[in-house]
Amino acid sequence: MAKRNSPSCDRNKQPILDVIAPHFSKVSQILEIGSGTGQHAVFFAKHLPHVIWQTSDVVDNHDSINAWIIESMLSNIQSPVEFMLGRDSWPVINVDAVFTANTTHIMQPQEAKIMMEQVAQHLPRGGVFCQYGPMKVNGEFTSESNQAFDCKIRGEGRGGIRDIEELKEWAVDMTLSEIYPMPANNFLLVWHKH
């Protein structure tokens, strides 16, 4: 199987875990939107043994995710379900938390909007959504490197870096309760369902 490795995942997994662990301390099942290589899922599932971690992504990434899961031998991580926002319906699983990393700026704006709406719709009251990645603040890039990155990914046909205020407008029925500045000019946003 094609186990892939992302250097950025290795760099950011511990800082992300440090932030999400307290917010996920009382949840039981987490859906990860866009599990990518599978590295984050295995690392977080190992350090959050009380949760069932459900991976999801487009089929092209399933081989790598499954390779990481098999190697980990963890019992609290589930093989990926096929899930592409705007195309697939919400996975039929009961989750009380959602996690996503480095997906929002890859999605087209309409897909990002759908994600915010669907997470708000499917989380139970009191459910938590942790969202990691580069964000704009009040319409401004937080660094020149983020502006250059945004230009690059838009040139590749990606949606680009979203503004936190824009996400708040889309996240009907969710409250943005925490904004954590993270290394490499990223943020981790913590949302709670009303």
- The string of DSSP letters for the chain reads ------HHHHHHHHHHHHHHHHHTTT-SEEEEE--TTSHHHHHHHHH-TTSEEEEEE-GGGHHHHHHHHHHHT-SSEEEEEE--TTTSPPPS---SEEEEES-TTTS-HHHHHHHHHHHHHHSPTT-EEEEEE--BBTTB-SSHHHHHHHHHHHHTT---PPBHHHHHHH-TTEEEEEEEEEGGGEEEEEEEE-
The CATH number assigned to the domain holding 28 equals 3.40.50.150
Give the count of domains, the chain: 1
- The reported pLDDT for the residue numbered 1 is 54
Q: Domain range spanning residue 136? A: 7-193
- The reported pLDDT for the residue numbered 71 is 96
46 belongs to a structural domain? yes
- The reported pLDDT for the residue numbered 2 is 87
54-75 pLDDT, tens digit per residue, is 999 999 999 999 999 999 999 9
Given a cut of 70, the residues of the chain with pLDDT beneath it are: 1
- The reported pLDDT for the residue numbered 93 is 78
